[in-house]
Amino acid sequence: MSDISPAEWTAILLSVRVAIIATLVATPFGIALAWLLARRDFWGKSMLDAIVHLPLVLPPVVTGYLLLLTFGRRGLVGGFLADHLGIVFSFRWTGAALACGVMSFPLLVRPMRLSIEAIDRRLEQAAETLGAAPWKVFLTVTLPLALPGVLAGMVLGFAKAIGEFGATITFVSNIPGETQTISSAIYSLIQTPDGDAAAGRLVIVSIVLALGALIAAEWFARRATQRLHGN
Amino acid sequence: MLRVDVEKQLGEFSLQASFTGEGRVIGLFGASGAGKTSLVNMIAGLLRPDRGTIVLDGETVDDTAAGIHVPAWRRRIGYVFQDARLFPHLNVAQNLDYGRRMNRLAPDPAQHARVIDLLDIGTLLGRRPGKLSGGERQRVALGRALLAKPRLLLLDEPLGALDEGRKLEILPYLVRLRDEANVPMVYVSHDAAELRQLATQIVMLKQGRVTSLGGVKMLA
């Protein structure tokens, strides 16, 4: 592993940065959506649920292309953000983070939703009778009890984000140092003569990162069960 | 003083209850399915009546005609549930302190010590609810409700989940609570013997209707 080249390191670090930013930004939205889906009944709920899961079943190229149409420099949202807030996504690492965030969102939301659904609502009622306003009930009872699930969702989302390829390369291309993540670096390397060894090293890095994330998610899930049983 | 006059339709079941409660412990007596829990849930503010009013010490907390519904968290009505419902992620001391923190009350070490002493839970403070027996859990739940300084304490079959031996263990605490804690209570039970020991007034509920009101003697 010691002979990882600077270019490979660049791709690895970029992947990690993109995945961390994608996960951190997606988390508050994920928690809010998980709570909404777990606790509220409203018109269009199954539609919203389907939209959240769409990136899981759509071809990643399609998701990437839709992102390009929406968040590209000439896209409806992208144009507005670029002109008014100076935020540019297309062909930038920020765009890679956006693509990874969208692609990993279903995996991030799911454990959060399940852990909120598993919380005994009668505990929240007890908190109310003790004088806790609804937002305090959420912060002092719901969220702490759901925390292992929230962390598990973040870990899974991170693992998915770090391996994302199709939507990212479609949306922000494959620019070394800017948008070339581990996946797109491997893709370039296996198309290059003599690239096999470097590709192999990055493949090993991917496997290690993914396995680590899955083990971490499993550990958090176990903690969640313990927490709910009050030990 | 508690004045209740409410109607609520729950599926096939219709609840229509009207009574005025005075005295330290109002015993709400009735078989299971008589609507006792729904009624106390309405008093607590966890369930909204379809029609009617609930007035506690002159403050209207529910009046459907006037569109008044004070949410549970603003009522200052304590609730001890049959299943304790301690927060599993907090230890006993944190559970006990929860109501004080949520109501932003200043620490009251004297009351804290008195309640812990009254319920004999001083040795449990560092433990998690998962490590408590059923009786211990119920005592902590009582303490937690009291330390939030409620104006009224609702107890919904607090001994219901306990076996005979445990019941006899908790009952003396409830008697002490009635005599020393100075909080009016509504005590729900289907056990006449329990109410004879604790209640000062009885409201009898049968299939969603109040069938009689009066002293404890009517349970004899």
Range of the domain at B28: 2-219
Q: State which amino acid sits at residue B185.
A: M
pLDDT at B162 over 90: no
Q: How many residues does chain B have?
A: 220
Contacts of B98 in chain A (CB under 8 A): 127, 130, 132, 140
**Which of B79, B82, B85 is the best mutation test for A, with the most CBs of A within 10 A?**
B85
Q: Is the ipTM of this complex over 0.85?
A: yes
Residue range A182-205, pLDDT digits in tens: 999 999 999 998 889 999 999 999
Contacts of A119 in chain B (CB under 8 A): none
Contacts of A166 (CB under 8 A, 6+ apart): A59, A60, A61, A63, A64
Name the closest residue on chain B to residue A136, using Cα atoms: B102
Classify the C-alpha dihedral B138-B207-B215-B219 as positive or negative. negative
Residue range B97-109, pLDDT digits in tens: 999 999 999 999 9
Split into its structural domains, chain A has a count of 1
Flag if B88 and A136 touch (Cβ within 8 Å). Answer: no
Range of the domain at A133: 6-228
Residue A50 located in a structural domain: yes
pLDDT at B32 over 90: no
A168: enclosing H helix or E strand: helix A166-172
Which CATH number characterizes residue A118's domain? 1.10.3720.10
Name the closest residue on chain B to residue A227, using Cα atoms: B89
Cα B215 to chain centroid distance, Å, stands at 19
Flag if B88 and A228 touch (Cβ within 8 Å). Answer: yes
Mean pLDDT value across residues B185-207: 91
Tokens of B110: 């004297």
When the pLDDT of each residue in chain B is averaged and rounded to a whole number, the result is 91
Task: Give the pLDDT confidence score for residue A224 in this predicted structure.
Answer: 73
Split into its structural domains, chain B has a count of 1
Flag if A130 and B71 touch (Cβ within 8 Å). Answer: no
User: Which residue did the predictor score with more confidence, B104 or A227?
Assistant: B104
Mean pLDDT value across residues B67-93: 95
Residues of A with CB under 8 A from a CB of B: 120, 122-123, 125-134, 136-137, 140-141, 144-145, 227-231
Contacts of A230 in chain B (CB under 8 A): 86, 88-89, 128-131
Q: Which of A125-139, A173-187, B152-166 has the lowest mean pLDDT?
A: B152-166
- List the single residue in B46, B98, B131 with the smallest CB-CB distance to A130: B98
Q: State which amino acid sits at residue A191.
A: Q
Alpha helices, H only, B58-191? 92-102, 109-119, 134-147, 164-180
When the pLDDT of each residue in chain A is averaged and rounded to a whole number, the result is 91
pLDDT at B60 over 80: yes
Residue range A35-87, pLDDT digits in tens: 999 999 999 999 999 999 999 999 999 999 999 999 988 888 888 888 888 88
pLDDT band at B63 (very low <50, low <70, confident <90, very high): very high
Contacts of A115 in chain B (CB under 8 A): none
Q: State which amino acid sits at residue A6.
A: P
DSSP-derived pairing of the beta strands B201-206 and B209-214: antiparallel
pLDDT at B95 over 90: yes
* Cβ-contact A210, A163 below 8 angstroms: yes
Which CATH number characterizes residue B185's domain? 3.40.50.300
Q: Using CA atoms, how far apart are residues A24 and A155, in angstroms rounded to an integer? A: 11
**Helix orientation angle between A93-117 and A45-57, rounded to the nearest 10 degrees:** 130
Classify the C-alpha dihedral B9-B14-B20-B25 as positive or negative. negative
Flag if A126 and B81 touch (Cβ within 8 Å). Answer: yes
Percentage of residues in chain A with pLDDT exceeding 90? 71
Contacts A–B by Cβ distance under 8 A: 78
Q: Using CA atoms, how far apart are residues A192 and A176, in angstroms rounded to an integer? A: 15
Residue A1 located in a structural domain: no
Mean pLDDT value across residues B8-18: 93
Contacts of A142 in chain B (CB under 8 A): none
- List the single residue in B72, B83, B128 with the smallest CB-CB distance to A129: B72
DSSP assignment letter at A193: T
Other Cβ atoms closer than 10 A to B173: 19
B103 in A contact zone (CB under 8 Å)? yes
Flag if B102 and A228 touch (Cβ within 8 Å). Answer: no
Flag if A131 and B73 touch (Cβ within 8 Å). Answer: yes
